């Protein structure tokens, strides 16, 4: 199992830090983000491997304050209930349109060999335009349906950093063949919600390596500007 890995070193003056920890047999990118001043942390998309995530929090000297969920799929949310039971911290996200996915986590976990995965009820469902706080910092919330109907992403404007779940990947985009997936909605979310945030924004995808929005606009075979200009 891969050890948690930090993203490329940010400017040390930035108000947040991050650690990427691939979890579950699917190697989904769970990210631990924290306020550099207060050391208050959030776990984004804890799909599983909860003991390892809690140890990473301890190793960094952090205090867990929030659990943030981009969408309700098993590999991104399966460990949420366990962390809530261990810590009592609030769960924020996803958008309520993903409630039907969260309701399926128990059955999906049994099917895919992750029986410890369980469903949950968020303490706060998120909407487009919401703000979530972490220590003395804040992240903007954007509703980006398509991969799932209730998918959200988290964006820290000052750090030029986003966690986008399964909306966008380095060289690819999220699947839309799941129930209530929609390819047109996904393309609209990427071009209408992500691209305006700026090409310099570095993002952690739900799986695989980091990239920037600018790089994907140049080279992504699904959503590059050149590709979309010639449908």
Cα separation, 11 vs 103, in Å, equals 40
Q: Is the dihedral of CA 185, 187, 188, 189 positive or negative?
A: positive
> Rg of the chain over CA atoms, in angstroms?
16
Cross-strand partners of 132: 139
Stated pTM of the model? 0.93
The tens digit of pLDDT for each residue in 87-128 reads: 999 999 999 999 999 999 999 888 877 888 899 999 999 999
CA distances from 4 to 55, 109, 126, 165, 204 (A): 10, 23, 27, 17, 13
Q: Is residue 4 part of a domain?
A: no
Predicted local distance difference test score (pLDDT) of residue 136: 97
Is residue 211 assigned to a domain?
Answer: yes
Q: Is 70 exposed, middle or buried (0-12, 13-18, 19+ CB in 10 A)?
A: buried
Helix (H) and strand (E) counts for the chain?
8, 13
- For residue 11, being part of any structural domain is answered with no
Residue 3 has pLDDT above 60, yes or no: no
Note whether residue 90 is domain-resident. yes
Count of the separate structural domains present in the chain: 1
167, 147 contact by CB (below 8 A): yes
9 located within any domain: no
Give per-residue pLDDT as tens, 115-166.
Answer: 888 999 999 999 999 999 999 999 999 999 999 999 999 999 999 999 999 9
Q: Which domain holds residue 141?
A: 16-228
pLDDT at 211 over 80: yes
Q: Which pLDDT tens digit goes with each residue over 40-91?
A: 999 999 999 999 999 999 999 999 999 999 999 999 999 999 999 999 999 9
Percent of the chain with pLDDT over 70: 94
Q: Calculate helix-pair angle for 50-59, 80-87, nearest 10 degrees.
A: 50
**Could you tell me which residues come within 8 angstroms of residue 146 by beta carbon, excluding any fewer than 6 positions away?**
167, 174, 176, 181, 182, 183, 184, 185, 186, 187, 188, 189, 190
Q: Which residues pair with 23 in a beta bridge?
A: 28
The CATH number assigned to the domain holding 21 equals: 3.60.15.10
44 within domain boundaries:
yes
Tell whether the model's pLDDT for residue 195 goes beyond 80.
Answer: yes
Size of the chain, expressed as the number of residues it contains: 231
What average pLDDT does the segment 217-228 reach?
A: 96
Mean pLDDT of the chain: 93
- How far from 158 is each of 11, 17, 128, 231, CA to CA, in Å? 11, 12, 19, 34
**Domain-embedded: residue 72:** yes
């Amino acid at each position: 199992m891969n050890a948690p890995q930090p993203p490329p070193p940010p400017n040390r003056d930035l108000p947040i830090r991050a650690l990427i920890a691939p979890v579950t047999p699917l190697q989904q990118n769970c990210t631990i983000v924290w306020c550099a001043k207060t050391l208050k942390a959030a776990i984004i998309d804890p799909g599983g491997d909860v003991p390892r995530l809690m140890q990473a929090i301890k190793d960094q000297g952090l205090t867990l304050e929030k659990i943030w969920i981009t969408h309700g799929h098993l590999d991104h949310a399966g460990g949420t209930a366990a962390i809530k039971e261990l810590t009592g911290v609030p769960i924020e996200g996803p958008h309520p349109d993903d409630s039907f996915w969260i309701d399926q986590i128990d059955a999906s976990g049994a099917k895919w060999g992750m029986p410890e995965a369980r469903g949950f009820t968020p303490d706060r469902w998120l909407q487009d335009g919401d703000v979530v706080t972490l220590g003395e910092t804040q992240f903007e919330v954007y509703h980006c349906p398509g991969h799932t109907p209730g998918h959200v992403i988290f964006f820290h404007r000052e750090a030029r950093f986003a966690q986008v779940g399964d909306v966008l990947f380095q060289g690819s985009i999220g699947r839309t063949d799941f129930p209530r997936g929609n390819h047109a909605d996904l393309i609209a979310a990427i071009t209408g919600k992500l691209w305006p945030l700026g090409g310099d924004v570095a993002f952690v995808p739900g799986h695989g390596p980091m990239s920037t929005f600018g790089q994907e606009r140049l080279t992504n075979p699904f959503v590059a500007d050149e590709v979309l200009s010639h449908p």
